[in-house]
Amino acid sequence: MALLEINNLSIAVASQGQLLPVVTDCSFSVAAHETLGVVGESGCGKSLTALAIMGLLEGSQVNITSGSIVFDGRDLLQLRPAQRRAIMGNQMAMVFQEPMTSLNPVYRIGEQITEVLQQHRKITHRESRQRALELLDLVKIPHPQDRIDSYPHQLSGGQRQRVMIAIAMACEPALLIADEPTTALDVTVQKEVLDLMLDLQTRTGTSIILISHDLGVIAETCDEVAVMYRGRIIEKATTASLFANMAHPYTRGLLASIPTIDTDNDWLQAIPGRVPGIDEKVNGCPFHPRCAHTETPCTQTAPRLIDTHPHHAVRCHFAGEI
Amino acid sequence: MTLRTTIAAVFRGRKLAALGAVWLCIITVAAIGAQFIAPFDPLEIDPIARLSEPGLPYLFGTDHFGRDTFSRAVYGARMALIIGIGSVLVALICGGLIGLLSAYFSTLGHFLMRIIDVLMAFPALLLALVLMTLLERSVINTVIVIGIVYATTTARIFFGMTLKLKNEVFIDAARCSGAGHGSILFRHILPNLWSPLLVQASFIFAFAQLQAAALDFLGLGLPPEVASWGNMLAEEKIYITRAPWLLMFPGALIILSVFSMNLVGDAMRDSIDPRFKNDIAGI
Amino acid sequence: MLGYTLKRLLTLIPTLLVASILIFLFVHLIPGDPASILLGDSATPEEIASLSAHMGLDRPLWQQYLVWFKNVLHGDFGQSIFFKTPVLEVIADGAETSICLALMTMFWIVLIGIPVGIVSASFHGSWVDQITSGGAMLLASIPTFWLGLYLILIFSVGLGWFPSSGFPSISDEGGLSNLRYLILPSLTLAAPNAALIVRLVRASMLDVSREDHVRTARAKGLHPARVSIKHVFRNALIAVAAAFGFTFAALVSEAVVTETVFSLPGIGRLVVQSILRRDYPVIQGVILLIVLLYLVINLLVDLAYARLDPRVSLQ
Ligand SMILES: Nc1ncnc2c1ncn2[C@@H]1O[C@H](COP(=O)(O)OP(=O)(O)OP(=O)(O)O)[C@@H](O)[C@H]1O
Ligand SMILES: [Mg+2]
């Protein structure tokens, strides 16, 4: 059985008395010890899906409108808040997109790591500090003894993200959600941080949901991939199958937009047009205004997710044909 | 955006603030039409009906001279409006200009802002008290003094906001296309500050009411014969045990008006440029 | 830290100098001649002139200022025209009342204002928030003296729980129990200021709660109350501390009114009475001391600020 199973998850934003759907009918699962990649352009609902899984949407304008999130056999949406909190930071942890601002500026980093340990483990102050030192060493922060008493503003962006990873890994979670952990970092640091996470995964056997808008990164690191467009999963496959039988025009566009040395293709050239805003309504296939293969059915009915190969599903009227 | 959609956006989901705005409209109507609304002359004395209880013909009762409290309260609305609008104008014009110019011309600004800082070390009421003793007790002087007191804070706020705008790209663009200082200040910077200015004005209006009432109470505000809410409280305070309702009406009027203005200011603050939100000195 | 403090103290000097000139000018522009006020209506012009000369009031203004300022530097604020005793003594007489009043007021503000602000922000948008933050705004819209008068009417005259006016020294008979004289005044004075603190704590906490690190704290599985206090409030405290200087200035203004309503023998009432009596030396002395106090408090606020926010370094 899968560690995490998302069934028909829909998320909507309450805005001026209206509910605008931002994630629609998403289903995917993550097996134990595996890595799932989630790709898509900015604003397609990746972060909201991740926050929904973590349970961090409560108290905001954004609400889960339907679906279930089954983690380790329990539907998280049915749990009481206290039960939910016992999982957060413990069996399930998250690394955020914004390393510069995700640490509390007024506490030393040691304090911020031990806090999560003391929340979930019966542990003395001294033991938790010892564990924090080990964790800093694990995430390859040089001189943990000195760094443990630093404040976040004294660290670089890459170091802060490492500290965030240390906090996330502190209780050895079964699932780590990494929401574009490297987007805000220097290119040189990006690879180090990714390698660090994969290294930790082999040591602890954590499952990872890696969110990115870079198919190249996904190709290198993930077992399975889900491609999102405007809040919907439009293609879902094992990594091998995805790259072998890439079916959706949007996924192909994403692939074409990976910068390579000899061609300086970029985003805008690869997929023409822009993502419509969440308050704009598009009939038929949500991608059709930007698609090069649009035909009559595309503008009229929304396609369903259909299996084209084993472990490979596509949401396109012409999957397999184009 | 039209005026109507702006107003709708400010008051959407804020029933209390909308009620506050309605109350302020009522006050304005009372102030303008005081002579038609008030049943008696506010200075007319009825010696046999001193300290009479609320009822008929004296809706809110009478004071210790036997003057009709309701009529005085209606004329008090006029005074409240004059004090509020007057001190807002003085504060915004003096303070706004000082702040704007100080931020724009840094040498001058350095000097002016030091003076403003020194003045801000004087608690508002103390400054007002000392200034009032320099001047005759009159409506216009009270307005000027309260305006000057709030000009200091206003100058500081404008200084901060103008500094934020001064280095924006569109200002550079205007400068490059040959716009003069005056044009940059008043055609490019000031229009961006209109809405925070309006929010600040509503808070100054509210503070000014309280400040004026305190001056009246200490005997250093409006001339005693003027029918203002503050004077009504000041004159009747010793009768509070004999006629507890006497101070209720003018007090409630001040509280409602200040509260309404604060509510409106608070609602407007939420709809302005978030960069300026924390610059506003309000409640 | 010490170096910074010394440097800041040095920068106070020009500010104080300008302030002293302003105060001196303001006070001397007040119409009314102290010599004639002092001697009363029956005095002859010759008597007034000779007293003026004796008090140095006939010299040019700048000379009078220099004499006054030189004396102030020596700790001599001159003689009160009304009390005929040194100004510093007159002020010292009022100090006990004002300090006790200020401390009790601060006690209420911290005890009520901060927790209510935290509750208001934590239940943002709910009826609890609407009642507490709306109530705070209503409280801040009440004229201080009006509130004081009705508190007296209800709790002194009506119920007889507290005395309505005056304040015997706590060194007199009754000792600390004399502080009951200050309960109503301190509540009156605390009301608008606590309301400001509620609004301030609430607004800063709402600002902080939108920051990314609060999401990190929630992702750790911490209890919402713990997130509110340890993470949100702790960061909001930085902004609250920064605004404390203004709170002090507001407190002094309201204290002037409150002490007058409750006839407290404090410095606030002294100012008002001295202004009405044209007692120049006392007005000058008190205002100068209040300005000094304001500047010192702002310096302390800056030091506290640096302690609260590790990103700020003092130099
Ligand atoms: N709190 C919110 N209130 C209103 N709309 C929101 C909120 N959070 C997100 N949205 C909207 O929901 C959509 C999805 O946002 P989300 O953050 O999940 O995008 P994303 O895929 O993570 O993008 P990025 O790659 O930029 O991180 C966006 O259009 C965004 O504008
Ligand atoms: Mg995102």
Q: Which of A68-72, A318-322, B83-87, C121-125 has the lowest mean pLDDT?
A: A318-322
Distance from CA of A135 to the nearest CA of C (A): 16
Rounded CA-CA distance C305/C300 in Å is 8
Residue C15 touches partner B, C-beta closer than 8 Å: yes
DSSP class of residue A88? Answer: B
Which domains does chain C carry?
Answer: 2-73 (no CATH), 88-308 (1.10.3720.10)
pLDDT of residue A322: 63
Q: In this structure, are residues A105 and C311 in contact, taking their beta carbons and an 8 Å threshold?
A: yes
pLDDT of residue A281: 76
Rounded CA-CA distance C190/C187 in Å is 5
Percent helix, strand and coil across chain C, each to the nearest 5: 75, 0, 20
* B6 or A9: which leads in pLDDT: A9
CB pairs under 8 A between A and C: 65
Rounded CA-CA distance B215/C271 in Å is 13
Tell me the torsion sign for CA atoms A197, A200, A202, A205.
negative
pLDDT of residue B222: 87
- pLDDT tens digits for range A149-190: 999 999 988 889 989 999 998 998 999 999 988 887 788 888
* Tokens matching residue C166: 């005056």
Residue A259, pLDDT above cutoff 60: no
Place of tokens 């979670």: A173
| CB-based contacts of C52, cutoff 8 Å, min separation 6 | C33, C35, C58
Place of tokens 């503008």: A299
Q: Which residues of C touch B16 (CB under 8 A)?
A: 134
Crossing angle of helices B190-217/B248-269, nearest 10°? 160
pLDDT of residue A260: 52
Query: Residues with Cβ within 5 Å of ion ligand 2?
Result: A 47
Tell me how crowded residue A153 is: count the other CB atoms within 10 A of its CB: 12
| CB-based contacts of A131, cutoff 8 Å, min separation 6 | A113, A114, A117, A123, A170
Residues lining ligand 1, judged by CB closer than 6 Å?
A 13, 22, 40, 42-48, 60-62, 97, 180, 213, 278
* A266 or B88: which leads in pLDDT: B88
Tell me the mean pLDDT in the region B185-208: 87
* Tokens matching residue C250: 């507001």
Rounded CA-CA distance A13/A43 in Å is 13
DSSP C114-147: HHHHHHHHHTTTSHHHHHHHHHHHHHHTS-HHHH
- pLDDT tens digits for range C274-308: 888 888 888 888 988 888 888 888 888 888 888 88
Ligand with an atom nearest the CA of residue A60: 1
Give C215: exposed, middle or buried? Use CB within 10 Å, 0-12, 13-18, 19+. buried
In this structure, the strands spanning A92-95 and A175-179 are parallel
Ligand with an atom nearest the CA of residue A179: 2
Instruction: Compute CA distances A24 → A7, A294, B5, whole Å.
Output: 11, 22, 32
* Tokens matching residue C290: 């209040």
- pLDDT tens digits for range C171-186: 777 777 777 888 899 9
Residue C295 touches partner B, C-beta closer than 8 Å: yes
Q: In this structure, are residues A40 and A48 in contact, taking their beta carbons and an 8 Å threshold?
A: no
Would you place residue A133 in the very low, low, confident or very high pLDDT band (cuts 50, 70, 90)?
A: very high
Instruction: Tell me if C137 and B114 make a contact (CB, 8 A cut-off).
Output: no
Residue A262, pLDDT above cutoff 60: no
Q: E strands along A203-291, which residues?
A: 207-212, 224-229, 232-238
Nearest C-alpha neighbor of B16 from the set C128, C136, C134, C122: C134
In this structure, the strands spanning A232-238 and A312-314 are antiparallel
What is the whole-number distance in angstroms between the Cα of residue A47 and the centre of ligand 1?
7
* Tokens matching residue C26: 């303001």
Residue A110, pLDDT above cutoff 90: yes
* Tokens matching residue C113: 């204002």
Neighbouring subunits of A (3+ Cβ pairs under 8 A): C
* Tokens matching residue B173: 């663009």
| CB-based contacts of A197, cutoff 8 Å, min separation 6 | A95, A165, A176, A178, A181, A208, A210
Give phi and psi for C220, each to the nearest 5. -80, -10
| CB-based contacts of B173, cutoff 8 Å, min separation 6 | none
Q: Which of B37-41, B164-168, B268-272, C5-9 has the lowest mean pLDDT?
A: B37-41
Rounded CA-CA distance C80/C281 in Å is 6
Tell me the torsion sign for CA atoms C286, C292, C293, C298.
positive
pLDDT of residue C315: 64
The residue whose CA has the least distance to atom 28 of ligand 1 is A43
| Candidate from C15, C31, C290 with C-beta closest to B117 | C15
Question: Which residue out of A26, A46, A250, A280 has the highest number of ligand 1 atoms within 8 Å of its CB and is therefore the one to mutate?
Answer: A46
Rounded CA-CA distance A254/A263 in Å is 15
Q: Which residues of C touch A14 (CB under 8 A)?
A: none
Rounded CA-CA distance A247/A314 in Å is 7
Length of chain B: 283
Give C236: exposed, middle or buried? Use CB within 10 Å, 0-12, 13-18, 19+. buried
Place of tokens 């007057």: B86
Rounded CA-CA distance B70/B249 in Å is 8
pLDDT of residue B205: 93
* Tokens matching residue B115: 């003076």
Residue A264, pLDDT above cutoff 50: no
Which string of b and e fits A266-302 if b means at least 16 CB within 10 Å?
Answer: eeeeebeeebeebeeeeebbbbbbbbeebeeebeeeb
Instruction: Tell me if C310 and A106 make a contact (CB, 8 A cut-off).
Output: yes
Ligand 1 atom with minimal separation from the A213 CA: 25
Would you place residue A38 in the very low, low, confident or very high pLDDT band (cuts 50, 70, 90)?
A: very high
Tell me the mean pLDDT in the region A181-202: 84
The residue whose CA has the least distance to atom 16 of ligand 1 is A45
Crossing angle of helices B124-134/C267-277, nearest 10°? 10
Q: In this structure, are residues C196 and C117 in contact, taking their beta carbons and an 8 Å threshold?
A: no
Tell me the mean pLDDT in the region B76-81: 90
- pLDDT tens digits for range C208-265: 999 999 999 999 999 999 999 999 999 999 888 887 777 777 888 889 999 999 988 9
- For residue A63, the cross-strand partners are A12
Tell me how crowded residue C305 is: count the other CB atoms within 10 A of its CB: 17
Ligand 1 atom with minimal separation from the A48 CA: 18
Tell me the torsion sign for CA atoms C300, C302, C306, C309.
positive
Instruction: Compute CA distances B271 → A17, A29, B11, B139, whole Å.
Output: 17, 42, 10, 34
Ligand with an atom nearest the CA of residue A22: 1
Tell me the mean pLDDT in the region A257-268: 50
Rounded CA-CA distance A98/C212 in Å is 8
Rounded CA-CA distance A252/C200 in Å is 52
Q: What is the dihedral of CA B272, B274, B275, B281, to 10 degrees?
A: 70
Instruction: Tell me if A88 and C231 make a contact (CB, 8 A cut-off).
Output: no
Would you place residue A267 in the very low, low, confident or very high pLDDT band (cuts 50, 70, 90)?
A: very low
Largest CA distance in chain C: 85
Distance from CA of C294 to the nearest CA of A (A): 28
pLDDT of residue A191: 84
Residue B9 touches partner C, C-beta closer than 8 Å: no
C 185-244 residues inside an 8 A Cβ radius of B: 195-196, 199, 207
- pLDDT tens digits for range C49-94: 887 777 777 778 888 888 888 888 888 888 887 888 888 888 888 8
Q: Which residues of C touch A80 (CB under 8 A)?
A: none
Ligand 1 atom with minimal separation from the A51 CA: 18
Rounded CA-CA distance A292/B190 in Å is 48
Q: Strand, helix or coil at B59? A: coil
Tell me how crowded residue B94 is: count the other CB atoms within 10 A of its CB: 18
Which domains does chain B carry?
Answer: 82-280 (1.10.3720.10)
Tell me the mean pLDDT in the region B185-193: 82
Instruction: Compute CA distances C97 → B124, C108, C143, C187, C287, whole Å.
Output: 21, 17, 22, 15, 17
Give phi and psi for A12, each to the nearest 5. -135, 150
pLDDT of residue A258: 61
| CB-based contacts of B148, cutoff 8 Å, min separation 6 | B90, B91, B94, B127, B131
Tell me the mean pLDDT in the region A197-203: 87
